Structure 1
Amino acid sequence: MSRLVAVSNRVAPVEEGKTQAGGLAVAIQEALKRRGGIWFGWSGQTVDTPPDAPSLAQSGRITFATLGLTQRDLEEYYNGYANSTLWPLFHYRLDLAQFSGRTYSGYQRVNSLFASRLAPLLQPDDIVWVHDYHLIPFAEQLRSMGLGQRMGFFLHTPWPAAEILVALPAHEALVRALCAYDLVGFQTGSDLLSFANYIRFEAQGEVEDLGPGQGCRIRAFGRTMVARAFPISIDTDVLAGIATQAADTVQMRRLKESLVGRALIIGVDRLDYSKGLPQRFESFQALLDAYPANQGQVSFMQVAPPSRTDVAEYQAIRRELEALAGHINGQFAEFDWVPIRYLNKSFSRKALAGFYRHARIGLVTPLRDGMNLVAKEYVACQDPEDPGVLVLSRFAGAAKELDAALVVNPYDVRAVAENMQRGLTMPLQERRERYEAMMKVLRENDITHWRETYVDTLSQVGGTA
């Protein structure tokens, strides 16, 4: 069996016996344990000069290979091009995208640095699996060194429509780099279609349909590769078990006591402008306005840990949400009830599982999201005998699979409010039927199925080594 080499912006060694919040880290580790191999990427540390070779640490059959980055590289590659250009562009926020030749050069430079440091560690029959928008040029850099191993890429974010992508000054170079992989995985069929349309109409390439669920073969820029949708998922049964255990924790007892029998609506998101949090707060306000019987009877808890706190756009969204929460609470609060509990902090996976299980509504309403695993986690954590209701944005990749949710347009705050009310008053039998339909999907396509399907597909395509 060929060795697997996983490449990601950050390397997250997983300690045996400890529950991790990040399912992707666990999925990569399990794939590496199964095949043996390397996990390569940034160490999370800044250094004065890039090291000549990565630091290596061994754990069983896995070698963790990490590099530090200079502050300049971090600013230009990570904070700059990856997160100030590609992230907003891929989430359809052209108004926030910054186009800079300096950060683009830094993005290419760091991808070249990573490739040059990984290349000496590669064996001829290795399979290389690269993750996310930070590393799109990675395979092209390895190919330029004459390496022909099988190389796959998986994009965790959305892939934008061609009309959005062409606003990027280097769009052709970016797609040409993507075509250096043998297999490119997207979250949904819609993302795949957007990519295929770019190939057809912008790159003047060829797109061959390979059949239902098998994606397409792409011929463009002198390369032939396969593109396919692989919707990422969660460790469904493990998470369901954690939620059952969490029901009796101290945190859950405190939450239940504080609610005093009130219904709970929950949202859990990284603090990011793509998550639709201002619209979500306004939708909850519309719920209280349109259905005043909920006043004093329903609480909305939004967990939103801060991220990228040094970026102006993220500082702005935090200020906006604080003002909205204050305004709504000021309008509706009573001496014994606060409508919005807005928490800028993280919680353990077990605590969140308990919160999900107790919430009558899971409110997942991003303006654009590659998948959104919170939607899947909320469903997996429900009590099968008395499940809650998922209210889910149509612009989350998860909506393609979880069509038994109440699917909404997050820009239509009144419609979101009406669906929250529908969920709060939904009969038990309907809630059970919707829950069972979604759990069937989550059990058939869990994180193990996602990982094995992708790696098995990559093992069968491309490669010239």
Structure 2
Amino acid sequence: MGRLIIVSNRVAPISEGGPAAGGLAVGVYDALKETGGVWFGWSGDVLTVPPEAIKLEEQGPVTFATIGLVRRDYDQYYRGFSNATLWPAFHYRPDLIEFDRDEYDGYCRVNRWLAAQLAPLLRPDDVIWVHDYHLIPFAQALRELGVKNRIGFFLHIPFPASQILLSVPRHRELVEALCAFDLLGFQTEPDLHAFCDYVETEAGGTLTRHAAKPVEVRAFGKTLKAAAYPIGVYPDEVRALAKDGESGRDVQTVKATLHQRKLVMSVDRLDYSKGLVERFRAFERLMEHDPQQRNNVSFLQIAPPTRSDVDAYRDIRLQLEAESGRINGRYAELDWTPIRYIHRQYERPVLAALFREAHVGFVTPLRDGMNLVAKEYVSAQDPDDPGVLVLSQFAGAARELKAALIVNPLDIDGMAEALATALAMPLDERRARHREMYALLRDNNVSVWRDNFLRDLKAR
């Protein structure tokens, strides 16, 4: 039986007790540790000279195969085209797109180079599963090297509507590269529809739809399959992590300093797609319109740093610091700070335990592929006294977690009203909403996501 070979931009060894990681890292690692296999990608190191060889490290059933990037490759492939061009485009922010031909060439070059590093490690019966927007040309590069293995691709972020994608120079080359995969996976049906619409209207391709099966796509002389596979979590594992972390010092400190106040909590990477500024203003509007909430509820926003060398991310950090300072200056009292804004990372058990303490999980991205924070918040709750999830309609998770309070993240008043509803929600209603969402998460966990994708990838 062939191995599962996972390929992602960054290989991030994580553990249940280690630092919290992004949705891709958590989902991929949870999927891989059950089956065993190889996880290949960038080590995170930026080097002054080209790396000599791939570094192999075994952790249980998983072999981590990592390699560094030289500064030029990092700047062009990662910081440049991946995060200054594709990321804003795929998150419906064409106004933030920056395009440079040299960066695009570097993006393609690094994909070819990474493919050449992986190829010697492959066996004929391995199944290759490539993840996310950094690696769109990866299958094309492997095919040019003569690799005939089954290769699938999963996009963790949204796929943009055709009119947005058209704003990216070389968009046709990118979609043609996607068609070198055997199977494309998207988080939601709208993402799948956006891809299919581009194939039909812009690429002159054809689609054959089958009931309960992937769409068959013919474009650029290739035939492939495409479907939606919403990524999940292991809710029972998250619940266990939450209980394990309850006695930790950080969690006990938060509980002690709340002084019986209710807690609204958010955890996001520091990113303009997460709707952080709008969220701060919604909490301010709650204080403004509902004075009885003042000194009775606190908002904890944890926003670990990310891509700090990209200008747009430095800007959002400065804006958040200014907003939190302004709001706290307006409403803080000697014994109460309305917004606790923390710009650092915490370990998974700490976050899970804090989720369990929070009366409201406030997850309101402007656009998100799935958002596993929403699913982890629900998973971490005490079923006897659960909190309430306030969730953006533009997070992929909203298509599954319909028992959350669904909001438009641009509607500041609407979000404030949802917070007030959540904070006042009766116990019976909270239990019923939580029970519905938890059951769905158990039925559609990470194993289901992985197994459904790999089943379709292996099917001829």
**Normalising by structure 2, what TM-score?**
0.96
Instruction: Please list every run of 5 or more consecutive structure 1 residues that lacks an aligned counterpart in the other structure.
Output: none
Quote how far apart the aligned CAs of 1:56 are.
Answer: 2.9
Q: How does 1:18-417 map to 2 (within 5 A)?
A: 18=17, 21-22=20-21, 24-25=24-25, 28-29=28-29, 32=32, 36-51=36-51, 53-59=53-59, 62-212=62-212, 214-417=213-416
Indicate conservation of the 8 Å contact 2:54/2:117, yes or no.
Answer: yes
- Give the paired residue count: 459
Q: Secondary structure at the match of 1:95?
A: helix
Q: Distance in 2 between matches of 1:104 and 1:385?
A: 52
Distance 1:32 1:366 in 2: 28
Measure the CA separation in 1 of the matches of 2:376 and 2:47: 37
Measure, in 2, the Cα distance between the counterparts of 1:262 and 1:453.
43
Seq. identity, %: 52
**In 1, distance between residues paired with 2:237 and 2:377?**
13
Cα contact 1:20–1:26 (8 A) shared by 2: no
Q: Report the Cα offset of residue 88 of structure 1.
A: 0.7
The answer on whether the counterparts of 1:266 and 1:362 sit within 8 Å (CA) in structure 2 is yes
Structure 2 contact 89–160 (Cα < 8 Å) conserved: yes
Is the CA contact (8 Å cut-off) linking 2:17 and 2:349 kept in structure 1? no
* Separation in 2, partners of 1:120, 1:245: 42
Cα 1:388–1:2, aligned 2, differ >3 Å: closer, same or farther? same
Cα deviation 1:256-304 (Å, max 9, x = unaligned): 2111111110111111000000000110011111111101111111111
Distance 1:31 1:376, change over 3 A: closer
Report if the CA contact (8 A) 2:19-2:346 is conserved. no
**Given that residues 264 and 300 in structure 1 are in contact (C-alpha distance below 8 angstroms), is that contact kept between their aligned partners in structure 2?**
yes
Whether the 8 Å CA contact 1:139–1:151 is kept in 2: the answer is yes
Shift in Å, 1:169: 0.9
Give 1:251 shift: 2.4
Relative distance call for 1:34 and 1:244 in structure 2 (3 A) is: closer
Shift of 1:48: 3.5
Residue 353 of structure 1 deviates from its aligned partner by: 1.1
Deviations 1:62-97 (A, max 9, x none): 433222211000000000000111011100111111
Question: Mind listing any 5+ residue stretches in structure 2 that lack a counterpart?
Answer: none
C-alpha contact (below 8 Å) 1:52/1:117 kept by paired residues:
no
Contact kept? 2:17, 2:347, Cα under 8 Å? no
Determine helix, strand or coil for the equivalent of 1:72.
Answer: helix
- Closer, same or farther: CA 298–126 of 1 in aligned 2, 3 Å: same
Instruction: Check the 8 A contact 2:264/2:361 in 1, yes or no.
Output: yes
Distance in 1, matches of 2:205 and 2:322, equals 49
Give the residue type in structure 1 aligned to 2:9.
N
Q: In structure 1, how many angstroms separate the alpha carbons of the residues matched to 2:188 and 2:280?
A: 28
Structure 2 Cα separation of the partners of residues 216 and 385 of structure 1: 42
Please report how far the alpha carbon of residue 121 of structure 1 lies from its aligned counterpart in structure 2 after TM superposition: 1.8
Closer, same or farther: CA 55–211 of 1 in aligned 2, 3 Å: same
Q: Which runs of 4+ in 1 moved over 6 A?
A: none
Distance 2:311 2:210 in 1: 44
Asked whether the equivalents of residues 27 and 451 of structure 1 are also in contact (C-alpha less than 8 Å), the reply is no
When the two chains are superposed, the root-mean-square deviation of aligned CA atoms in Å is 1.7
Separation (CA, whole Å) in 2 of partners of 1:284 and 1:372: 21
Q: Deviations over 1:108-138 (max 9, x none)?
A: 0100101111112222222111011000000
Question: What is the TM-score with the length of structure 1 in the denominator?
Answer: 0.95
Deviations 1:350-387 (A, max 9, x none): 11111111111100000000111100011001111111
